[in-house]
């Protein structure tokens, strides 16, 4: 019996600095080319969720993160126009706000003070909203 066809697994990371800004990338590729997004991407075979999250942040922003807090699971079948993906989202705090360097599939990476004024890719607005609620607890 073959393996069942299942959604693709991804991860996203909400990174706050000491001023409550959020680290966002500008997407280099479709879907949502040029839109702001959280650093994140697909999980590799044999990789833990946390390792994938840290790898994607490093690849897209040049920043290393260590402590991760689970934000939630985002599984709406329409969250990604390429097909059904499930994202496990994390958050972390980098109080000193190091300067990010865009890499991988990010054309830019920057600390954004008022992210609500930006057009965000996928369901990243909801993920940041949820992370802010956890952070406020």
pLDDT tens, per residue, the chain with 137 residues: 788 999 999 999 999 999 999 999 999 999 999 999 999 999 999 999 999 999 999 999 999 999 999 999 999 999 999 999 999 999 999 999 999 999 988 999 999 999 999 999 999 999 999 999 999 98
Looking at the domain assignment, is residue 43 inside a domain? yes
Residue at 68 is within a domain: yes
What the block records as the tokens of 26 is 């500008």
Number of independent structural domains in the chain: 1
Q: Does a structural domain hold residue 1?
A: no
Q: Is residue 3 part of a domain?
A: no
- Domain annotation covers residue 2: no
CATH of the domain at 48: 3.90.79.10
Give me the pLDDT at residue 84, please. Answer: 97
pTM: 0.96
Q: Which of 85, 49, 87 is nearest to 68 (CA)?
A: 49
70: containing domain: 8-136
């Amino acid at each position: 019996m073959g393996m069942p066809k299942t959604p693709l697994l991804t991860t996203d990371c909400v990174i706050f600095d000491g001023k409550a800004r959020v680290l966002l990338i500008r997407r280099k590729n479709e879907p949502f080319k040029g839109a702001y997004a959280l650093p994140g991407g697909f999980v590799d075979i044999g990789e833990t969720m946390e390792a994938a999250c840290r790898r994607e942040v490093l690849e897209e922003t040049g920043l290393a993160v260590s402590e991760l807090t689970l934000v939630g699971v985002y599984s709406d079948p329409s969250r990604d126009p390429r097909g059904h993906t499930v994202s496990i989202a994390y958050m972390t705090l980098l109080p000193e706000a190091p300067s990010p360097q865009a890499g991988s599939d990010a054309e830019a990476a920057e600390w954004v003070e008022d992210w609500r004024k930006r057009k965000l890719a996928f369901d990243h607005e909801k993920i940041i909203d949820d992370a802010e609620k956890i952070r406020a607890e």
